[in-house]
Amino acid sequence: MSKKRKLWSIYLAVPFGIAVIVCLITNYALDRAFTWSLIAIGGCIFACLLLQLLINGGKHRLLLLYAAICILTIPYLYLIEMVSNLYLSDPVYWVSGFGAPISIFWLAVLGILVLIRTLAHANVWMMAGLFVLTFYIGEKYTNFKVDELVGTNQSWRLSEHYPVIYFGTAAVFLFIGIVLAAVRYVKGSAVE
């Protein structure tokens, strides 16, 4: 690691360290215990680690960043659940049935999109179109899980009321992406 990267790592770690200390002092001064500050500390550690990976990750920094997000998201959700249940007379355990499935779903969608981009060398427009289509599916799944948690079927779904927003936008992005890919292919063939 170069000296410049070490300095940037230190410069970025200092504000997080200050935030952790301030949260601990404030939480202890107000509650005489460490409760809500654990959420802030967890968030600071999460964010600081991600920034450190971006700075020091080398050639595969985005892959390391994605792996860190995949590994740390569920434990952080459990930390939030644990701390929030300290304030409730009737604890609610929502991560196992709600937070974890939705997080895993969205992380898998992101991973699949990155894999498609890497293997197919799809351009940004095609990827935007695919993202809109996967977002459509993701919105349906997320709303299904919300309705399951709440016990009703009353969540408002953009995908049901205005599906043309998703499909129209995706079609425009995919069309532009396909046209640009075809132009690039024709130019590449003409050069050879």
What's the confidence (pLDDT) of residue 1? 63
Asked if pLDDT for residue 104 goes beyond 90, the answer is yes
Indicate the range of 79-88, 105-114, 154-163 predicted with least confidence: 154-163
Collect all residues with Cβ–Cβ distance below 8 Å to 21 and sequence separation of at least 6.
none
Q: What is the mean pLDDT of the chain?
A: 88
At 96, give phi and psi (nearest 5°).
-60, -40
What's the confidence (pLDDT) of residue 192? 62
Dihedral sign, Cα of residue 179, residue 182, residue 188, residue 192 = negative
Q: Counting Cβ atoms within 10 Å, is residue 11 exposed (0-12), middle (13-18) or buried (19+)?
A: exposed
pLDDT-based confidence at 172, cuts 50/70/90?
very high
Domain boundaries along the sequence of the chain: 1-93, 118-192
pLDDT-based confidence at 140, cuts 50/70/90?
confident
What's the confidence (pLDDT) of residue 152? 79
pTM to 2 decimal places: 0.77
Collect all residues with Cβ–Cβ distance below 8 Å to 187 and sequence separation of at least 6.
none
pLDDT tens digits along 20-70: 999 999 999 999 999 999 999 999 999 999 998 888 888 888 888 999 999
